[in-house]
Amino acid sequence: MQSQQGKNNNIKLRAYAKLNLSLKITGKRADGYHDIDSIMQSISLHDEIEVREAASGIKVKCSPDIADNIAERAAKTLLDEIRLVKGVEIHIKKHIPVAGGLAGGSADAAAVLTGMNAALGLNLHKHKLIEIGAKVGSDVPFCLVGGTCRVTGMGEMVERINPHSSGAFILVLPKLQLSTASVYGEYDRVGAGNSTNELEAAAIKVAPEIKKIIDSLVKATGGNWQMSGSGPSLFMQLTDISESEKHVEAINKLGLEFHVVKRMDQGVEIV
């Protein structure tokens, strides 16, 4: 059992979304999962998490509510791993869209692991949290490290690299939800296509509206738009945040939800 020294019973955190600046599929394993080679980037769009120690059990309150919340699985995995008979209350306020290719659930799980480590005074090393996170979800290790990283394997191998030169992005959130499993399944049928994100062609097969939205954004802004993860979220890189001003009106006219976001150097932040 871990030491309970120095615990703080109420921890507030920000769980930052991620973008896949590039995504290659490098193989398929015998269990059906795929290996990847991706440059991932934390961005300022975030969920708000609160973690409190409780006498027993795991209670998760999420607004809006989400079925099969990965954050609860993260909490259970951590408690089981260290054989700690304690409870925890978790409150999540969602801003990152669900099933958007932005690792919102994984970011929440990473924040829960970080918050429990602090709230329960566990003093676990980051490497241990990453090991636990890899058992919860493939993007959780990256979300625990954050910043700009090269991520390989099934997501468990995370290497910090020099920050990407772009300091900001315009992020567009189509009103679609794409199942990661369905996009990977389609990838196995149609292959990589010619995008920087090798899942993009498969996502367009699953949801042809994505191609229409990309075409309209390219026409409106003259920029290079690409999809993050398994989609459908789309982004354009900017040299700096002020560059967004010339594109805001054009994107507004398309009636699309969008955010101007900054590059972040961490995936989870205690506030």
Task: Give the C-alpha separation, 72 to 136, whole Å.
Answer: 10
Residue 18 annotated as catalytic: yes
Tell me, what amino acid is at 42?
Answer: S
Residue 139 annotated as catalytic: yes
What is the arrangement of strands in the sheet containing 234-238, beginning at the earlier edge strand?
226-227, 234-238, 168-172, 258-262
Tell me which residue has tokens 């080679």. 37
Largest CA distance in the chain: 59
- Catalytic residue, chosen from 12, 126, 139, 265, is 139
With left for phi above 0 and alpha for psi between -120 and 50, is residue 90 left, alpha or beta? beta
Residue 247, token pair as written in the block: 């594109």
- Catalytic residue, chosen from 7, 12, 18, 240, is 18
Q: Count Cα neighbours of 165 within 13 Å in the Cβ-side half-sphere.
A: 1
Partner residues linked to 190 by β-bridges: none
Nearest to 130 by CA among 270, 271, 268: 268
Catalytic sites, residue numbers = 18, 139
